[in-house]
Chains A and B, each alone.
Chain A
Amino acid sequence: MSQAHLLGNAHWDDYGFKVQSMIKKPINYGAIDADEAHQLGGDLFVHRWGSPETSEMIVLYWVVEASTGTIKMSRFELFGSPVARAANDMLCMLSRNKKVEEIPEITYKSLEYFLRDNPTTVALPEVKQYTITHAMTAAAEAANAYLRNTPDDEGETIVCADAGIKRTTIEQVIRLHDLTTTEQITHYTKAGAFDHRCADALGDILRVVRAKMAEEAATVDVPDDTPFAQMTSEQQLAKINSVIDEHIRHFLVMDGGDMEIVDIKQNGEHTDLYIRYLGACNGCASASTGTLFAIENALKTHLDKNIRVLPL
């Protein structure tokens, strides 16, 4: 426990300005009908996630351009905690002009950063982080349903009936946030929030995943003295991501933008990093000059002088 834990931090007035205003007036709230979709030059795709029984139901409305698979418009309807409005609203904004197959690739971190008022203050208290997980799970499932990808059966098992959360989601969340306790799993997924009996099931999953993670860490962990060029591309990606998180991302997010890594390619002695700008960065005049140099410089200073950054 900690002082913050003892003080409790789930007060309605504690949310940042951005989250507050999205709770009050979400921009992308409401249904889209088929006619509206046609006018926008796409087909309507509706996906329902969750149910009132499990405290959260998200209905996503996408207008998808059939020829390119691009989401022209994205809106949502919600039955659930008002805080979830903010997460879903932001996710709808981020989904616009993306291809459906790119939706599951939106990272938790970027969504969370977009909800922040300033780079250093987290947008939501830990107990409300589940709203982001739910929004992202709903969108990823919608994308899979659209693309008719069938997920594996075991991952589909619902662990806690009270929250309707699938096993895969819990596993992903443990890895993503490096969770170590079942209470944390509850904060990030709401599984076990009300039905305390599923703590045992969550504990089992936690043990299995932590064991797997420890095993993987033993093989993936890079000694600090390994030169950047000799790392595998997964290791490189992890290093680049950590540098971007530490030195770059908060500047972009503060201006309402963000970036994501699309690909890494070895090009002779150079490592080419393909990135895509998001939000306000996309189309910003500085994106191909100052910002780009800042990103490249940070990577060059902290990782390897032969990294080149290429915005798409």
Chain B
Amino acid sequence: MPIYLDNNHLTRPDEQVVDAMKPFLGANFHDPLAPYTQANLSRRAYGDAMAKLYAGIHADKKDDVLITSGDTESNTWLFNSLYIHKILTGKGGAIIISERAPASIASICTYLEKQGAKVFRLGVNKDGVIDPQDLLDYITPRTALVSIEMVDAESGAIQPIEEIAEMCAQYNVPFHTDATQALGKIPVDVQRAPITYMTFSAHTFHGPTGVGALYVRHGATLEPMLMGSPTQMGGERAGLLNLAGIIGMGKAMELAVDALEYDMEDVRDMRDALEERVRALPDVTIITPWSLRVPNTLTFAVQGVPAAALLLELNRSAIAATSATLYPQGDWAHRPLVDAVGLDPALRHTVITLALSRMNTEAEIEEITQALEESIALLRDESPAYPEATTEEQA
């Protein structure tokens, strides 16, 4: 049976999510915003789904949860809006992001830099976590935005966003966090910290792909992105609603919040069992300590073994995993993780990420460990970059 371990990239939609969506891909196709009776079912389902989304992140009824096509769109929307509203008008100064920002944020910031915006990138410490005190070196009351991801997609490190959000509030600077990697893995609550904007996407918590949202706290500014009908997303993002997607995301949110109580504990147990076995392998470095990581992720460097080769070996055992160093698919970010946390640069291309979900089983863990042990032994045996091979050669 194929084993899927690329859950930080995309998760399998839950059966209940698919079932909830099905009627709205067929007979109940109506536009939920239409005034006629036929659209009633759609309208009710849309209302329910939105209620689940608000409840899932503890948003206030006055706040906006704007539906988008996913995290990338939400991030792009926010940063473009910020550029138009603050930077072009001279109302705001620099943007502060994390060095480990997701690709959509990293790319748009590079783009905005070319347009003349000033961007600061906060580094991470040896654990892959940002030190909130570092923010004080860059933040001023004129800072346009601080954006720190809630969880690092590659290392799984949980960032101290509550502290950072508090600091931003003191400076009266809006704070954005990308919670795409956090939802369904750790509690996400916009009331626990002064979060101004938050991004999430259904595809990381067993929802459908192509749907996500941008949370905007009441009173925060946001330029409209797609112009059109004033009724669709309040005129901020026009275009017919992706009804089935929204319903799927609502159901997935409900399940994810429920699952946090018990399913995530199971995932953590499976991950820990896997981690214990990986830790026992020689010359393997697990990045980010256990306590600072989301319960589903295990990211490690395997000395002397190129990630691409290891992933191909795992693929032969029907295990799908990923690495940020895989070219051209990998998302290397601004700097490789190994450099960011200050490990030996020779490990740069040896990091792989195993990301579990509640769809994995305990029996799979044994299979994964076996495949890992065998593949690593095989690849090290023939690797010219693994010390044993080097000593043989010198002899």
Residues of A within 8 A of B (CB): 10, 12, 23, 29-31, 46, 48, 51-53, 55, 57, 59, 77-82, 127, 190, 193-194, 196
B308 touches A190 (CB 8 A): no
Write the nearest CB–CB distance from A229 to chain B, whole angstroms: 48
- CB within 8 A of B382: which of A51, A53, A77, A193? A77
- CB within 8 A of A53: which of B312, B328, B346, B384? B346
A residues near B336, Cβ cutoff 8 Å:
194
A residues near B156, Cβ cutoff 8 Å:
none
Q: Per-residue CB proximity of B373-395 to A under 8 Å, as 1/0?
A: 00000000011110001001100
Write the nearest CB–CB distance from B106 to chain A, whole angstroms: 9
Interface residues of B in 342-383 (CB under 8 A from A): 345-350, 382-383
B residues near A59, Cβ cutoff 8 Å:
384
A55 touches B384 (CB 8 A): no
A78 touches B348 (CB 8 A): no
A55–B329 Cα gap in the complex (Å)? 15
Q: Per-residue CB proximity of B212-234 to A under 8 Å, as 1/0?
A: 00000000000000000000000
A11, closest chain B residue (CB): B329
B110 within 8 A of A: yes
A85, closest chain B residue (CB): B309
A101–B309 Cα gap in the complex (Å)? 32
B327 within 8 A of A: yes
**Number of residues on chain B facing chain A (CB within 8 A):** 26
A46–B390 Cα gap in the complex (Å)? 13
A81–B326 Cα gap in the complex (Å)? 9
B325 within 8 A of A: yes
B304 within 8 A of A: yes
A residues near B290, Cβ cutoff 8 Å:
none
A77 touches B327 (CB 8 A): no
Write the nearest CB–CB distance from A84 to chain B, whole angstroms: 9
A196 touches B110 (CB 8 A): yes
- CB within 8 A of B327: which of A12, A190, A196? A190
- CB within 8 A of A81: which of B306, B315, B382? B306
Write the nearest CB–CB distance from A2 to chain B, whole angstroms: 16
B332 within 8 A of A: yes
A52 touches B348 (CB 8 A): yes
B309, closest chain A residue (CB): A82
A12–B312 Cα gap in the complex (Å)? 8
A55, closest chain B residue (CB): B349
B residues near A55, Cβ cutoff 8 Å:
306, 325, 327, 348-349
14 pairs, A vs B, C-beta closer than 8 Å: A31-B384, A52-B347, A53-B348, A53-B349, A55-B327, A55-B349, A57-B385, A77-B389, A79-B304, A80-B306, A80-B309, A82-B308, A194-B325, A196-B110
A193 touches B327 (CB 8 A): yes
B390, closest chain A residue (CB): A59
Write the nearest CB–CB distance from B345 to chain A, whole angstroms: 5
Contacts A12-B312, A57-B384, A59-B384 known; 5 new A-B pairs at CB < 8 A = A31-B384, A52-B350, A52-B385, A55-B349, A77-B382
A residues near B304, Cβ cutoff 8 Å:
52, 79
A residues near B308, Cβ cutoff 8 Å:
80-82
A30, closest chain B residue (CB): B382
A280–B193 Cα gap in the complex (Å)? 71
A55–B306 Cα gap in the complex (Å)? 7
B327 touches A194 (CB 8 A): yes
A46–B392 Cα gap in the complex (Å)? 14
A36–B329 Cα gap in the complex (Å)? 41
B residues near A23, Cβ cutoff 8 Å:
312
B309 touches A81 (CB 8 A): yes
A52 touches B312 (CB 8 A): no
Most buried by A among B345, B384, B389: B384
A194 touches B382 (CB 8 A): no
A53–B347 Cα gap in the complex (Å)? 7
A residues near B332, Cβ cutoff 8 Å:
194
A10–B311 Cα gap in the complex (Å)? 14
B384 touches A78 (CB 8 A): yes
Interface residues of B in 239-255 (CB under 8 A from A): none
B residues near A52, Cβ cutoff 8 Å:
304, 306, 346-350, 385
A77 touches B110 (CB 8 A): no
B residues near A80, Cβ cutoff 8 Å:
306, 308-309, 349
A274–B345 Cα gap in the complex (Å)? 49
Q: Which 6 A-B pairs have the closest CB atoms?
A: A77-B384, A79-B385, A52-B346, A55-B349, A194-B332, A52-B385
B residues near A78, Cβ cutoff 8 Å:
384
Write the nearest CB–CB distance from A39 to chain B, whole angstroms: 18
Most buried by B among A23, A46, A80: A80
A46, closest chain B residue (CB): B393
Most buried by B among A30, A53, A59, A190: A53
A12–B329 Cα gap in the complex (Å)? 12
B348, closest chain A residue (CB): A53
A10–B112 Cα gap in the complex (Å)? 30
A residues near B309, Cβ cutoff 8 Å:
80-82
Write the nearest CB–CB distance from B303 to chain A, whole angstroms: 9
A residues near B392, Cβ cutoff 8 Å:
31
B348 touches A10 (CB 8 A): no
B residues near A127, Cβ cutoff 8 Å:
327-328
Taking A30-B382, A59-B384 as contacts, is the C-beta distance between A53 and B345 under 8 angstroms?
Answer: yes
A79 touches B383 (CB 8 A): yes
A48–B348 Cα gap in the complex (Å)? 19
Interface residues of B in 283-328 (CB under 8 A from A): 304, 306, 308-309, 312, 315, 325, 327-328
A193 touches B328 (CB 8 A): yes
B383, closest chain A residue (CB): A79
B residues near A10, Cβ cutoff 8 Å:
328-329
A186, closest chain B residue (CB): B328
Q: Per-residue CB proximity of B36-68 to A under 8 Å, as 1/0?
A: 000000000000000000000000000000000
A residues near B393, Cβ cutoff 8 Å:
31, 46
